[in-house]
Structure 1
Amino acid sequence: CVFCLQESLGHVNINLVDVVNNGRINEKYHLINSRNGKLQLEIKWNTV
């Protein structure tokens, strides 16, 4: 499995209220518990 890692690279905390209120986020996050890991994340919120 390509995405099955045996160790964590770090983590991020994302406030989903911001996603719901704004309809989307497109941000760069520094990984917590990582020396220099970064994550670019885009989330869009659509109601159906």
Structure 2
Amino acid sequence: MARMLQGWFLGAVYLCTFGLAFLVKRGFLRHCPQCKHVLRSHRRRMDGSFQD
């Protein structure tokens, strides 16, 4: 339920900003090469390696 509401909210943000938020996210933020999520959302260990 929470993920569905997050998806709806994010869709509304993209719609209200005419897709600029989407372009900023895809164009300027670094993404994980394996799962394509934004790197800052990944949990890391003390040595800097990915925890998940």
Q: If each structure's helix is expressed as a fraction of its own residues, which one has the higher value?
A: 2
Give the TM-score category using the shorter length.
under 0.3
**Of the two structures, which has the highest relative contact order with CA contacts closer than 8 Å and spacing of 6 or more?**
1
Give the structure with the higher percent strand.
Answer: 1
With structure 2 as the length reference, what TM-score do the two structures score?
0.26
